A and B are shown apart, each in its own frame.
Chain A
């Protein structure tokens, strides 16, 4: 009797524990181990996140740094939720939405042992928003709404805005906005380009150019219990086949940028249950920009013809089988509440459901503009995925309306140079963003005088007016209406650019890697603090 009762109790106890733990029981993080991952680049241009815009910098150095706020590491796919990293709680804006006051955690130390205070946070943000002369900050235009940044004491940072806007908080959660030590940047604002010293979950160990970067666990990390890993090794390999081979042989657990469907299929087929895959829409896409300063692309009829020739719907479906693209979208990331619906998109030139009608109109416009049989060069970046796939697809589409297009492929440096100097006919550009911030993400479609990384070479006061209206609109419904007007003007009325299908992020990884969740950007959630190894 006692035995039976005891057995029953034990059974019930085990069941209760199992129920309580649920699926999470199997997911209890384990401490230890070293994560080895591939970085799809030769090396980062520098380690200064404030200066750089490439994933090569983030994938190399994000684990060494803290940020003020961020997307939730447990739910990085959220496009509306933000949580504190260095602050104690997310503030409610005051002063009619124009002032944000952050309290800074008191228990944060830099890796050199010194205390991190609000002064360091404010100094880092000053460098990002108001860079001193001779210092490059890649995201100055994101913070046009910021008036002042103050640190009245060691635990408080205050952001004062010129006007209230919903674009501010997402911009503040940018993953490149690492917090540096004030003393160092006061002495040399360029120091962080070649050196690493932060307060993040990992401490810097070594960097071998073109080879690898290593980090070790920060025992003083302020998010208690994290990171779970003892350390990490990031291995640089620009060539996809090298990275896939490394993952196939388990010399590396994963990469964080994304692989094409063929590589995923290959890894899954050969790795079986040892390989798991996470995928997501990607806040990144190729934009095709005609050079408005060159004839005949100064003629809106020619630009519209280029748009109308492209079958977005069929192209996206086919390309998704071979390239890292998938979703048809307008100027806003398809996962955002501000994005156009399919019905709304189909009202815009280049998205019409009847491609034959669309191409007939394209031919008519070309004839009217005297540009029948036009020959031109499509400047592209020497990167296979997805740049060259997109470029080759477009050339095929344009051929169907009688255009003769030659693809000119340039390495990354000269490609940027060609865009910045305006020495191109039509260029395959990219608009890759981090935090989904639909209003600021569409800055790329503004004239270059307003948004320096817009390369179309046009002036368009109407476009700026529509954008400003949308930026200052705080009511979500009215903002959505404003966005549609801006989108229609940009893509249809003026045909400033062609938005090709948005990228699709596919991350195959060894099944023992736990705790990492995919986000719509390869810049986000890269501090590795949540990752643990189940082996």
Chain B
């Protein structure tokens, strides 16, 4: 005689009806106005990045020597830079660069950190000890320093910048997820799954990972903001994406220092874009944390 035990049963599914997504979203919007502002900013950024080809009135890389450093006007809503390029168009396309780098680095870095963190908690012993010491070493360096080191080794360019930001994010996620996973590991259903002979991968991925998703999502949202900021910082230092690719940090580098007094719009608008993007993602992350925290959920 054989007994079949489902993963859902082991995870303690009660089969209760959950509120619909639309209702949950409406509740979120009503209870978290700042989070709503954050979502709105993130959405605007998404739309701008995704539809940049449609929204931008000019080619963001085209030099126009007849319109160098023009102040904001109807022809150029946010003015032009020192090479006559339309700043609004470059900001819109810059959103795409920020999204590609920010989201890629945050998703990949936190996903790897999630799996490694849960695995570390699950296996324990020498694996956990060794993994944590490696994390200690990596976390001893501030994110931007480690990213600088990675760029110095691999060089500049979009892919390398993503790699440079992803690597420092892994231990940051791994450490927090491990702490949550240690508590999950002690719950009987994990022992039950192991007793039933489930593979390590199945226990980790099907039973433990879903139960640490809440802290993971919160960190993920924070990481997106950090990654966008890191990308802008690297570009500002000349180590990120390179001209003429539109990127917010790069736009600051080109204009902020030389034209701060004579053509301030060159620096002000990319600076505002970075600030708003990071603010929006932070507000969204805070609201998400509150929404997922049972102690704060009903406040």
Contact = CB atoms under 8 A, between A and B. Distances in A.
Interface of A: 240-241, 260, 262-263, 265-266, 314-315, 317-318, 321-322, 382, 388, 391-393, 395-396, 399, 406-410
Given A260-B258, A392-B83, A407 B243 contact: yes
29 contacts: A240-B258, A241-B257, A262-B259, A265-B262, A266-B262, A314-B65, A318-B68, A322-B83, A322-B258, A382-B238, A388-B243, A392-B63, A392-B83, A392-B243, A392-B244, A393-B83, A395-B244, A396-B63, A396-B83, A396-B244, A399-B62, A406-B157, A407-B244, A408-B155, A408-B157, A408-B242, A409-B156, A409-B238, A409-B242
B242 A407 contact: yes
Given A388-B243, A406-B242, A407-B243, A396 B68 contact: no
A321 B243 contact: no
Interface in B147-178: 155-157
A318 B65 contact: yes
A322 B243 contact: no
A399 B243 contact: no
Interface of B: 61-63, 65, 68, 82-84, 155-157, 238, 242-245, 257-259, 261-262
B235 to A, nearest CB: 11
Contacts of A241: 257
Nearest to A318: B65
Given A396-B61, A396-B62, 9 more contacts: A265-B262, A266-B261, A318-B68, A392-B63, A395-B243, A406-B157, A407-B242, A407-B243, A409-B242
A118 to B, nearest CB: 49
Contacts of A395: 61, 243-244
Nearest to A261: B258
B241 to A, nearest CB: 9
B61 A240 contact: no
Contacts of B84: 318
A383 to B, nearest CB: 9
B240 to A, nearest CB: 10
Contacts of A406: 157, 242, 245
Contact of A393 (B63, B245, B258, B262): B63
Per CB-CB distance, the 9 closest pairs between chain A and chain B, nearest first, are: A318-B65, A396-B63, A392-B243, A407-B242, A262-B258, A322-B82, A241-B257, A409-B242, A392-B244
Contacts of A318: 63, 65, 68, 84
A313 to B, nearest CB: 11
Nearest to A241: B257
B150 to A, nearest CB: 15
Contacts of A240: 257-258
A409 B238 CA distance: 8
A6 to B, nearest CB: 57
Contacts of A265: 262
A259 to B, nearest CB: 10
Contacts of B243: 388, 391-392, 395, 407
Contacts of B156: 408-409
Contacts of A391: 243
Contacts of A407: 242-244
A382 B253 CA distance: 12
Interface of B is mostly: loop
A388 B84 CA distance: 16
Contacts of A314: 65
Given A322-B68, A408-B155, A263 B61 contact: no
A322 B259 CA distance: 10
Nearest to A407: B242
A393 B257 CA distance: 20
Contacts of A321: 68
B261 to A, nearest CB: 6
A382 B63 CA distance: 21
Q: Which of B61, B83, B243, B258 has the most CB of A within 10 A?
A: B258
Contacts of B258: 240, 260, 262-263, 322
Contacts of A382: 238
A392 B84 CA distance: 12
Contacts of B157: 406, 408
B10 to A, nearest CB: 51
Contacts of B245: 406
Nearest to A378: B242
Given A391-B243, A392-B83, A262 B68 contact: no
A410 B261 CA distance: 29
Q: Which of A260, A395, A396, A410 has the most CB of B within 10 A?
A: A396
A262 B84 CA distance: 15
A359 to B, nearest CB: 15
Nearest to B237: A382
B62 to A, nearest CB: 7
Contacts of A410: 155
A439 B1 CA distance: 97
Contacts of B83: 322, 392-393, 396
Contacts of B68: 318, 321-322
A130 B67 CA distance: 54
B71 to A, nearest CB: 16
Contacts of B259: 262
A274 B61 CA distance: 40
Contacts of A260: 258
A396 B63 CA distance: 6
B264 to A, nearest CB: 13
A414 to B, nearest CB: 8
A395 B259 CA distance: 23
Nearest to B152: A411
A318 B66 CA distance: 8
Nearest to A321: B68
A399 B155 contact: no
A318 B67 CA distance: 10
B266 to A, nearest CB: 11
A392 B259 CA distance: 18
B262 A262 contact: yes
Contacts of A317: 65
A129 B13 CA distance: 86
Nearest to B85: A396
A9 B62 CA distance: 72
Contacts of B62: 396, 399
Contacts of B82: 322
Nearest to B83: A392
Nearest to B263: A262
Given A392-B83, A392-B243, A399 B257 contact: no
A233 B155 CA distance: 36
Nearest to B81: A322
A388 B257 CA distance: 15
Contacts of B238: 382, 409
Contacts of A392: 63, 83, 243-244
A399 B65 contact: no
A263 B257 CA distance: 10
Nearest to B59: A399
A406 B244 CA distance: 8
B246 to A, nearest CB: 12
A391 B245 CA distance: 12
Nearest to A396: B63
A314 B61 CA distance: 18
A89 B156 CA distance: 54
Nearest to B259: A262
A266 B244 CA distance: 26
A158 to B, nearest CB: 50
Q: Which of B62, B83, B156, B242 has the most CB of A within 10 A?
A: B242
